[in-house]
Amino acid sequence: MQKVSILGYGVYVPCYRLKIAEIASVWGKNGKDVERSLGIIEKSVAGVDEDAVTLAYEAATSAVARAGIKASNLEVCLVGSESHPYAVNPTSTIVAELLGVGKNYMAADLEFACKAATAGIVATCGLIGSGMVEFALVVGTDTAQAKPHDILEYTAASAAAAFVVGKHTKNSLADIIETASFSSDTPDFWRRDGVRFPSHGGRFTGEPAYFAHVLGASLRLLGKTHTKSHDYHYCVFHMPNGKFPRAVGKRLGFTDRQLAPSLIFDHIGNPYSASSLTGLAAVLDMAKPGERIFMVSYGSGAGSDAFSLQVGKGIIARRNKALKFSDYLTRKTTISYVQYLKLRGKI
Amino acid sequence: MFKITMFQTGFEFWSFEFWYCFEIRASDFEFIINMEVAILSGVNSKFGELWETSPRDLVRDVALQAISEAGIKPSEIDAIFVGNMLSGMLAQQEHLGAFFAEELGLPVSAIRVEGACASGGLAVHLGVCAISSGMYRNVLIVGVEKMTDYKPEEVAHALMGAGSDVEREAGATFPALYALMAQVHMTRFGTTSEQLAWVAVKNHYHATLSENAQFPFAVSVEQVLKSSMVAYPLHLLDCSPITDGASAVVLSINSKHQIPNSKTVNIIASAVATDTLGLAQRKDLTTIDAAVRAGKMAYEQAGIGPSDIDVCEVHDCFTIAEVLAMEDLGFFKKGEAGEKIAAGVTTLGKGKKLIVNTSGGLKAAGHPVGATGVKQIVEVFHQLAGSAGKKQVEGARLGLAHNVGGSGATAVVHILKSLK
Amino acid sequence: MISPVKIWRNQKKTRNLLGREGKILTWTKVFVPPSGFEGQAPYIVAIAQLSDKTHCTAQLVDYEEKQVKIGQKVRTVLRKTRDPGTEGVIPYGIKFRPI
């Protein structure tokens, strides 16, 4: 089985920010309390003319630039999202067409709440590892929506993260050593077809959902690789809020230092299918060759995909070929709640 | 150079007699038709929000009156040219030649002409071509537009049919396109918003002397500058309105034999030029080059220059458009028109030489898109015939009409001469 | 509803205009939008000269007020353009983002 690597990666975060205190004041809540309990002060909001397609396109161009390949080299395009613009009509082909991939590729849209894209990465491991294809593009992208006044309104955010996956070379940015998944039918968070906003089971989204599956996949992966938390330099977990990734990290024996670089939630909130992947990108923005990364996604419904990665030599030369996650934090404009409603089409 | 009078034959053809002569210049073998197309009459409807008046009513009234004032029988009309832009898009009614031919009871050659806001001017041009070719003797030109049956956003959207798809996709409107030109003119030449406002002030003043204008009331510079912003830097009062209206002229072959009841005004030049559809592709954003070229061709056809013009109607769809027109037509040097207009140099009663837009222009008389080009001919016709009443420019002998389509993709320039 | 065939034919044009740098030649702010653009108003429409000297008309997005000026450097980005209503195919096109 051919070794598979990440050859390129890229992120995109829209420039608009809505402060948590602003949302809280609209609903008569104490801003400071909400900030503290969720661990966030502002979230990213997509512009009125942005959607999962445009976000994915931007992240993908960065990924292709870092990979140093031509878009036409790509033979697979998988896009995972909870906010695909169409119920029927693939986001993946729109993105691929505009990237200039050409016609000789396989594409599919994926959906599995927040882990749609990581499922895509597991799939490409098979496609590339088997020698079926040489280069694949996987994107996680979301312009997450939440019902006004719902707790999710504070955290549902927008971003995209894209990865070019291919055969291992000595210039790979990161090798995918092993993966393990853990799935079950657990309806903790869902959205019926035709309904605008998702619903969730409140506290049911915690222990039986997030923790059960993230821990389940983590333990499987640690077992498969015969490793322990201290064997890794960094860990990345899906971030639905500020508490869960920190709690699950602790339970697995990871330290704050191992977790800190991946905590993109603290800056922009939860961009659903792009959450753990943006966290991974943030780690790749600063990791050194040889360092090992432990990443676990989570998608409601529910399931987790866990990955053990090792940073490659190629990261040094290729990292600066595109914008980093931190670059997107300097480019921001604060909007009001009313402007937010206008941008997200709620009024 | 020698003049050959060829084919000086007259022959009977369906009870008409017609003559024509050619003039050939040996020096460049240029084939010029000596243009003398007589304007027998010109009539404008009331311009404004005419809720109870249908397009049929509009055209029927002006057309029958024009034919009557022309002193000819309706059966003497050989062709009807209709200028209109929006009927298809807004009312789903195409085929306007036949539509109005039926309304007038004249089942003759009838053709609808479209060139966005230059539709009316193009209809006149086609009439001139039709008569100059010798195929038609008396032609009725009608320009008509019915815009107030629809919501302003729908109309703004439909008007952008005059622009490019890229402009439509960018959410541009006509005020936006002219605003883009205004910004460059202001940055490059120092033209000010105040100077632009003077165009509106002047044209509104002229409109107070006009019984058919949509807005026959004065406005001040302050009012213009205080009016709400439509597309920066153009305010509401920098923009021509949405208007219903129709205009008609009867053109006739002018021969050595006096036509009964002919007034004493001829069209001596009729020129059309085009440029890129989209504003971004123009060579210079402070010039409507199509107008420059059409103007040059017209002056050449007429054998005159800008300083010979006594009175003119220019296409002030937005205040900046009049500034551009005055420069494009060679009346003022590039960059100086704003200052000159603000100083009153082209205002009736103030200006000494060239008076502009005595009709009130598009801004104050109104801009029923397809009618405007014809309305301009009507206005200049009455000025040269001495029948402009309170608006009369004394001693006006040479007049010019300048009609532009879109943001300058089409320009039509006519020059009229009084034979008195 | 915008013709899906026209959207499809435009893909190549859009693709070739993406990721290009340019500078603003002129701009305006549209306060009175045409139908289909109500939700976006007010917005900036600009003409920019791209690096190959061609000119392009598009909206300006993600800008700070001080970047709305003649001479501002911009890059072309992918955005949704016209409102397709609830049923139509979504048109994507070029807009300018200040660099």
Question: Which CATH number, 3.40.50.300, 3.30.450.20, 3.40.225.10, 2.40.50.840, labels domain C4-98?
Answer: 2.40.50.840
> Is 50 exceeded by the pLDDT of residue B15?
no
Chain C residues at the B interface, defined by Cβ less than 8 Å, are 25-38, 40, 43, 45-47, 55-59, 70, 81-82, 91, 93, 95
Answer yes or no: do C28 and B278 touch at CB < 8 A. no
Over the stretch B83-138, which tens digit does the pLDDT of each residue have?
999 999 999 999 999 999 999 999 999 999 999 999 999 999 999 999 999 999 99
Going from the C-alpha of C59 to that of each of A152, A229, B282, the distances in angstroms are 32, 50, 19
Over the stretch A193-228, which tens digit does the pLDDT of each residue have?
989 899 999 999 999 999 999 999 999 999 999 999
- Integer Cα distance of B152 and B351 in angstroms: 36
Answer yes or no: do B171 and C38 touch at CB < 8 A. no
- Catalytic residue flag (residue A200): no
Answer yes or no: do B176 and C28 touch at CB < 8 A. yes
Q: Which residues of A touch C80 (CB under 8 A)?
A: 49-51, 54
Q: Under a CB-based contact definition with an 8 Å cutoff, are residues A24 and A34 in contact?
A: yes
B/e letters for B75-84, b = 16+ CB within 10 Å, e = fewer, are: ebbbbbbbbb
Average of per-residue pLDDT across C60-73? 97
Assign B24 a pLDDT band (cuts: 50, 70, 90): very low
List the chains bordering chain A where 3 or more Cβ pairs fall under 8 Å: C
Over the stretch A283-341, which tens digit does the pLDDT of each residue have?
999 999 999 999 999 999 999 999 999 999 999 999 999 999 999 999 999 999 999 99
Measure in Å the smallest separation between the Cα of A52 and chain C Cα atoms.
10
Residue length of chain B: 420
Amino acid A346: pLDDT = 62
Over the stretch C6-65, which tens digit does the pLDDT of each residue have?
999 999 999 999 999 999 999 999 999 998 898 888 999 999 999 999 999 999 999 999
Residue A1, classed as helix, strand or coil, is: coil
> Is 60 exceeded by the pLDDT of residue A125?
yes
Q: Largest alpha-carbon pair distance within chain C?
A: 39
- Integer Cα distance of B368 and B155 in angstroms: 12
In A171-233, which ranges are E strands? Answer: 174-186, 189-190, 199-200
Between β-strands A16-19 and B265-274, what pairing exists: parallel, antiparallel or unpaired? unpaired
Q: Under a CB-based contact definition with an 8 Å cutoff, are residues A159 and A272 in contact?
A: no
Q: Tokens 């939440």 — which residue?
A: A146
Q: Which residues of B touch C29 (CB under 8 A)?
A: 229, 231-232
- Of residues C86 and A291, more confidence is placed in A291
Question: In a mutagenesis test of the C interface, which of A12, A44, A45, A49 is the best target, namely the one with the most C β-carbons within 10 Å?
Answer: A49
Amino acid B255: pLDDT = 58
Between β-strands B311-313 and B355-356, what pairing exists: parallel, antiparallel or unpaired? parallel
Is residue C80 within 8 angstroms of chain A, CB to CB?
A: yes
Nearest to C59 among B152, B156, B171 (CB): B171
Going from the C-alpha of C73 to that of each of A228, B179, C48, C69, C77, the distances in angstroms are 50, 20, 9, 9, 13
Catalytic site residue from B206, B235, B367, B414: B367
A–C interface: beta-carbon pairs under 8 A: 49
> Is 50 exceeded by the pLDDT of residue B366?
yes
Answer yes or no: do B279 and C47 touch at CB < 8 A. yes
Over the stretch A33-74, which tens digit does the pLDDT of each residue have?
999 999 999 999 999 999 999 999 999 999 999 999 999 999
Pull the structure tokens for residue A93: 């082909």
- Integer Cα distance of B211 and A107 in angstroms: 68
Residue C84, classed as helix, strand or coil, is: coil
Answer yes or no: do C38 and B184 touch at CB < 8 A. no
Measure in Å the smallest separation between the Cα of B235 and chain C Cα atoms.
10
Over the stretch B25-63, which tens digit does the pLDDT of each residue have?
333 334 455 678 999 999 999 999 999 999 999 999 999
Between β-strands B398-405 and B311-313, what pairing exists: parallel, antiparallel or unpaired? parallel
Q: Under a CB-based contact definition with an 8 Å cutoff, are residues C28 and B170 in contact?
A: no
> Is 50 exceeded by the pLDDT of residue B7?
no
Pull the structure tokens for residue A192: 């019926």
Domain map (residue ranges) of chain C:
4-98
Q: Tokens 């693709």 — which residue?
A: C15
Q: Under a CB-based contact definition with an 8 Å cutoff, are residues B412 and B125 in contact?
A: yes
Measure in Å the smallest separation between the Cα of B106 and chain C Cα atoms.
39
Amino acid B259: pLDDT = 52
Chain C residue whose CA is closest to A57: C78
Ordered structural domains, chain B, with CATH: 1-34 (no CATH), 172-244+269-418 (3.40.47.10)
Amino acid B35: pLDDT = 75
- Integer Cα distance of B353 and B399 in angstroms: 12
Q: What angle do CA A58, A59, A63 make, to 5 degrees?
A: 120
Chain A residues at the C interface, defined by Cβ less than 8 Å, are 14-15, 47-51, 53-54, 57-58, 61, 85-86, 89, 94, 97-100, 331, 333, 342, 345
Pull the structure tokens for residue A130: 């088997």
Q: Which residues of C touch B153 (CB under 8 A)?
A: 33-35, 38
pTM to 2 decimals? 0.91
Q: Under a CB-based contact definition with an 8 Å cutoff, are residues B253 and B266 in contact?
A: no
Superfamily, domain A177-312: Thiolase/Chalcone synthase (3.40.47.10)
B/e letters for B100-137, b = 16+ CB within 10 Å, e = fewer, are: bbebbebebbbbbbbbbbbbbbbbbbbbbbbbbeeebb
Average of per-residue pLDDT across B241-249? 98
Q: Tokens 């613009």 — which residue?
A: A85
Q: Please identify among residues 115-154 of chain B the ones whose CB lies closer than 8 Å to any CB of chain C.
A: 151-154
- Integer Cα distance of A199 and A192 in angstroms: 9
CA C14 to chain centre: 11
Q: What is the DSSP letter of C52?
A: T
Number of alpha carbons in the 13 Å side-chain half-sphere of residue B29: 0
Cα–Cα nearest to A218, from A169, A276, A141, A272: A276
Q: Under a CB-based contact definition with an 8 Å cutoff, are residues B193 and B338 in contact?
A: no
- Integer Cα distance of B338 and B333 in angstroms: 10
A177-312 and A4-172+316-343 share a CATH fold:
yes
List the chains bordering chain C where 3 or more Cβ pairs fall under 8 Å: A, B
The CATH number assigned to the domain with range A4-172+316-343 reads 3.40.47.10
Measure in Å the smallest separation between the Cα of A180 and chain C Cα atoms.
36
Residue length of chain C: 99
Over the stretch A240-286, which tens digit does the pLDDT of each residue have?
999 999 999 999 999 999 999 999 999 999 999 999 999 999 999 99
- Catalytic residue flag (residue A82): yes
Q: Which residues of A touch C64 (CB under 8 A)?
A: 333
B–C interface: beta-carbon pairs under 8 A: 99
- Integer Cα distance of B343 and B358 in angstroms: 17
Answer yes or no: do A47 and C19 touch at CB < 8 A. no
Catalytic site residue from A77, A114, A125, A235: A114
Nearest to B279 among C30, C40, C57 (CB): C57
SS (HEC) of chain B? CCCCCCCCCCCCECCECCCCCEEEECCCCEEEECCCEEEEEEEECCCECCCCCCHHHHHHHHHHHHHHHHCCCHHHCCEEEEECCCHHHHHCCCCHHHHHHHHHCCCCEEEEECECECHHHHHHHHHHHHHHCCCCCEEEEEEEECCCCCCHHHHHHHHHHHCCHHHHHCCCCHHHHHHHHHHHHHHHHCCCHHHHHHHHHHHHHHHCCCCCCCCCCCCCHHHHHHCCEEECCEEHHHECCCCEEEEEEEEEECCCCCCCCCCCEEEEEEEEEECCCCHHHCCCCCCCHHHHHHHHHHHHHHCCCHHHCCEEECCCCEHHHHHHHHHHCCCCCCCCHHHHHHCCCCCCCCCCCCEECCCCHHHHHCCCHHHHHHHHHHHHHHHHHCCCHHHCCCCCCEEEEEEEECCCCEEEEEEEEECC
Domain map (residue ranges) of chain A:
4-172+316-343, 177-312
- Of residues B369 and C35, more confidence is placed in B369
> Is 80 exceeded by the pLDDT of residue B263?
no
Is residue B267 within 8 angstroms of chain C, CB to CB?
A: no
Bridge partners for B82 per DSSP: B112, B142
Is residue C79 within 8 angstroms of chain A, CB to CB?
A: yes
Cα–Cα nearest to B154, from A238, A64, C38: C38
Chain C residue whose CA is closest to B160: C34
